Structure 1
Amino acid sequence: MKQQNLKTWFKSGSPWVWFTGGGVSIAVIMTIGLLTLIAVRGLGHFWPADVLEGDYRIPGQPAQVLAGELVEAEEVPRAQLAASGLPVSVSGGEFMTRELLKVGNRELYGADFSWVVGEWLDNLRKPANLVALERREWGNFYGYLLGVKESGQLVAEGEAAWAELQPRIERVAELHEQLARLEKKDIGRINHALERLRLKERGLELDGELDAAAQADLAAERAQWDAEYQQLETQLVSLRQAFNRDGILVRTVDGREEEISLGKVVRAYRPNAMGTFDKFGFYFAKLWEFVSDEPREANTEGGIFPAIFGTVMMTLIMALLVTPFGVLAAIYLREYAKQGPLTRMIRIAVNNLAGVPAIVYGVFGLGFFVYVLGGSIDRLFFAEALPAPTFGTPGLLWASLTLAILAVPVVIVATEEGLARIPRALREGSLALGATKAETLWKVVLPMASPAMMTGMILAVARAAGEVAPLMLVGVVKLAPSLPLDGNYPYLHLDQKIMHLGFHIYDVGFQSPNVEAARPLVYATALLLVLVIALLNLSAVFIRNHLREKYKALDH
């Protein structure tokens, strides 16, 4: 009886419903768990942790004072510590605690992080007046503020120095923004104009048209730019002097005194004296800096805005390139090509292209787009710039085209499936009313197949936006000095190299000289990459759903 009930239960299909439902549940749980892990480890990096100070007593050595943020702690076998050369006693428990402290002061200690034995660290305390300085170079500095200097003269000491410090840091931040704007925007505009003038002169020389009148015109224009540059240079020198005017005297926890220019300090705070609301304000300021600022300290500090911009820009250009080619190819294969062995072979080839490793597309893009196509463009249109390449070098355009070639099979397959689902009666009805085949295709078939086209574009964006391997060959770099979009003609510089979130994760995670400092940024950047791709996909999904609702009535 039980066997009969079991057979009936299997025949009803219920076990397969449970199996598939369980598989979906496991996949959802794993995805949520992964995103939660990335979010916790990445976003927790920006929280201002308390800075501990304690006496570190290594057996047989004088006690030393240490200060730093506790990053992690782990239990390790006593024998392992003894094997590493530490004077560990064989008596006691089997395990000892090893703690990783972010001690900062890299120019003094040689490293930002240090492993210590927890049992040797005692008399732990959290001094309220312990200052953490976030610097533009050399990482964080932990110590005590002794005084504030202006033009080499001491203007405040003790507790008064802390009240004097904050407005001066705000002043330095404003001057830093003015310097960046002057160097990148104003002086960058002049340098761009002078380079265009040089290329124009070289082009006239190659064409044999560089006569005395042309030289005089070029010299006059160059003189105008040089005069403007001299004015900006005077402003630049004045700003730099004001930027480096102030300094501070600090003392480390082990008694060493240092003088630090405020031009090197991004912010100063006392984490042990901060309340909950102060820490939340600090947290969101750091989070905003992460998504809006430029990287520094070998990409382990600052923000990643250039990588966000490069990822979005490249993906949008890729989508604009891949959609027309993929749709036109699908239309030809479904609507015009004779359905025979050749067409079937083309479809098989398209499906196989979707499984080609991404690095192969990168090699193809480097060989064909960069060297062949880009080199030909340089010889035809940018001869005055040779031997320096313009398009004959990796850049934004070639990275986008390489990703478009990588994603075009996905768009072709999705669009073909959408065209195949359009009822034949609609085509025949349109033709019966006197429309041509082209008019039927353009006004009836393609609008109804547009949701499928958007589905193909969504899949293409999801496939291409996270690729890293091909981009390393065709245009993505560790650090790009400027964005490919600015106020200089032609405004969008397709020949420039860019940063990318995926490559940024690879670089910070595997190429960084400061592994411990880079680790939380790997998680934060990975979370941001997921969010950027999700936002791009959701935008496409919204458009697809709108089109689906618009043409739903025609489908019945």
Structure 2
Amino acid sequence: MKQDSLKGWFKSGAPGVWISGGAVAMAVIMTLGLLAVIAVRGLGHFWPADLIQATYKVPGQADVVIVGEVVQKEEVPRVRLKDAGLPVPENGPEFMTRELVKVGNRDLNGSDFTWLVGDWLVDQRRPADLMALERREWGNFYGYLVSVKEQGRVVASGPSAWNELQARLKRADALNDQLVSLEKKDIGSINHGLERLRLHSRKLELQGKLDAAAQADIEAERAELTSRYKTIEERLTELHQAFARDSLVARDGSGRQVEINLSKVVHAIQPNNMSTLAKLGAYFSKVWEFLSDDPREANTEGGIFPAIFGTVMMTLIMAVIVTPFGVLAAVYLREYARQGPVTRLIRIAVNNLAGVPAIVYGVFGLGFFVYVLGGSIDRLFFPESLPAPTLGTPGLLWASLTLALLAVPVVIVATEEGLARIPRTVREGSLALGATKAETLWKIVLPMASPAMMTGMILAVARAAGEVAPLMLVGVVKLAPSLPVDGNYPYLHLDQKIMHLGFHIYDVGFQSPNVEAARPLVYATALLLVLVIATLNLSAVWIRNHLREKYKALDS
């Protein structure tokens, strides 16, 4: 009886339902677990951790004072430490603690991370006046504030020096913002104008129209730009002098003193003396800096805003390009082409294109888009720039086109499936009422198939936004702090190289000279890339659901 009920249970399909449900639950748990690990390791990097001061007592060696931040702890076999050349006692414990400490002060120590044996770190304490300086170069500095100087003269020392330092750092930040604005916007605009004049002069020369009147006009405009540049240069000199006015004197754990100009300091905090609320404010400030600033220190410090902007811009341009071409191809194959061997062969080719490795698209984009198409456009429309390329070099346009080529099979397949689901009676009813085939297609069929088109675009964005290999060949670079959108005509510079979150992860994770400093940024950037792709996809999903509800009555 039990055997019959068991057979009936299997025949009912319930085991398949449970297995499918379990597989889905496992996939969701694994995905959420992966995101949780990435989020904890990435976002935890921005928390202002407490600093320690301890004495490092290595048997048989002089004691060393260690100041820094404990990043990681692990238990390792005693034999492993002995094999590394450390003076580990023979009769010691089987396992010993090893700690990764960020000691900073790379300009003094040569390296800002070091592994230490935790059992040899004694007299650990957390002094309230121990400070952490985030610098624009040479990484963090950990130590004690001795004094604050103005033009070499001490203006504050002792307990009052900290408040004086914070006030002068605010002034330095304001001056730095003015410097960045002048260098990026004003001087960038002048350089763009000078380059435009040079190209215009060269173009007139090639056309044989560079007469005395044209030269006089060009020289007058160049003189005006040069005059503006001299004015800005004087302002820059004043700002640089004001920026370099203040400095601080700090002392590290060993007693060495160093003078640091405030123009080199980004933040100064005393984490051991901060409340939880103050640390929370510093945490969100660091997260915002990560999202909004330019990278520094070989991309291991600062922010990643150019990479965010480049990723979103390239993906949007790709979507604008791929959607009409994919939809037109699908409409032709489904609505107009004769269904025969040739059409079937085309569909097979489209499906096979979806499985071609991405790097192959990159090689094709470099060879055809950049060298052939871009080089031809340069010869036809930008001869005055030659031999320097304008579009005959990797850039935003070619990266977007390469991604569009990579994603167009996905859009074609999804749109064809949507067109195939529309009942034939809808088309026949429209034609019976006197509408032409084009009107039926434009006003009835395509609106009803729009959710399927959006599905194709969602899949295309999901695949293209995370690609890295082809982009390394057609326009993505390690560092491009200038955005492809600015106030200079034509405002959107499709020939400009860009940064990308995926390539940034590869560069920071595998090409960085400071691996330990780069590791948490890899996790943070990976989490951000997932969030950017999810945001783009959710926006497309919302549009698709809106269209589906709008045309549900027609579909029924």
The alpha-carbon deviation at position 4 of structure 1 amounts to 1.4
Look up the equivalent residue of 1:17 and give its one-letter code: V
Please say if 1:395 is aligned against 2:387: no
Look up the equivalent residue of 1:117 and give its one-letter code: V
Instruction: Give the aligned partner of residue 525 of structure 2.
Output: 525
Instruction: Give the aligned partner of residue 61 of structure 2.
Output: 61
Instruction: Give the aligned partner of residue 426 of structure 2.
Output: 426
- 2: distance between equivalents of 1:509 and 1:2? 58
Instruction: Give the aligned partner of residue 10 of structure 1.
Output: 10
The runs of at least 4 aligned residues of structure 1 exceeding 3 Å deviation read none
- 2: distance between equivalents of 1:121 and 1:178? 45
Instruction: Give the aligned partner of residue 46 of structure 1.
Output: 46
Partner secondary structure for residue 394 of structure 1: coil
- 1: distance between equivalents of 2:530 and 2:44? 17
Instruction: Give the aligned partner of residue 362 of structure 1.
Output: 362
After superposition, give the CA deviation of every residue in 1:442-461 in whole Å (9 maximum; x if it has no partner).
00000000000000000000
- 2: distance between equivalents of 1:467 and 1:218? 45
After superposition, give the CA deviation of every residue in 1:64-92 in whole Å (9 maximum; x if it has no partner).
10011000011111111111111111112
The alpha-carbon deviation at position 2 of structure 1 amounts to 2.3
- 2: distance between equivalents of 1:389 and 1:91? 70
TM-score under structure 1 normalisation? 1.00
- 1: distance between equivalents of 2:285 and 2:502? 24
Contact 2:294–2:481 under 8 Å retained in 1: no
Contact 2:306–2:481 under 8 Å retained in 1: no
- 2: distance between equivalents of 1:21 and 1:211? 79
In structure 2, stretches of 5+ residues that fail to align are: none
- 1: distance between equivalents of 2:93 and 2:216? 87
The alpha-carbon deviation at position 232 of structure 1 amounts to 0.4
Instruction: Give the aligned partner of residue 227 of structure 2.
Output: 227
Partner secondary structure for residue 373 of structure 1: helix
Look up the equivalent residue of 2:111 and give its one-letter code: A
In structure 1, stretches of 5+ residues that fail to align are: none
Instruction: Give the aligned partner of residue 351 of structure 1.
Output: 351
- 1: distance between equivalents of 2:529 and 2:94? 43
The alpha-carbon deviation at position 5 of structure 1 amounts to 1.5
Instruction: Give the aligned partner of residue 460 of structure 2.
Output: 460
For these two proteins, the number of residue pairs brought into alignment is 556
- 1: distance between equivalents of 2:481 and 2:141? 27
Partner secondary structure for residue 542 of structure 2: helix
Partner secondary structure for residue 114 of structure 1: strand
- 2: distance between equivalents of 1:199 and 1:40? 52
Please say if 1:380 is aligned against 2:403: no
C-alpha RMSD of matched pairs (Å):
0.6
Please say if 1:333 is aligned against 2:333: yes
Instruction: Give the aligned partner of residue 295 of structure 1.
Output: 295
Q: Superposition pairs for residues 38-437 of structure 1, below 5 Å?
A: 38-437=38-437
Partner secondary structure for residue 253 of structure 1: coil
After superposition, give the CA deviation of every residue in 1:87-133 in whole Å (9 maximum; x if it has no partner).
11111211111100000000111111010001111000000001110
The alpha-carbon deviation at position 515 of structure 1 amounts to 0.4
The alpha-carbon deviation at position 545 of structure 1 amounts to 0.5
- 1: distance between equivalents of 2:171 and 2:117? 42
Look up the equivalent residue of 2:217 and give its one-letter code: D
Partner secondary structure for residue 487 of structure 2: coil
The alpha-carbon deviation at position 331 of structure 1 amounts to 0.3
- 2: distance between equivalents of 1:280 and 1:250? 26
Partner secondary structure for residue 61 of structure 1: coil
Look up the equivalent residue of 1:116 and give its one-letter code: L
Partner secondary structure for residue 89 of structure 2: coil
Q: Superposition pairs for residues 503-522 of structure 1, below 5 Å?
A: 503-522=503-522
Look up the equivalent residue of 1:460 and give its one-letter code: A
After superposition, give the CA deviation of every residue in 1:492-518 in whole Å (9 maximum; x if it has no partner).
000000000000000010000000000
The alpha-carbon deviation at position 481 of structure 1 amounts to 3.2
Look up the equivalent residue of 1:223 and give its one-letter code: A
Partner secondary structure for residue 479 of structure 1: coil
- 1: distance between equivalents of 2:183 and 2:307? 21
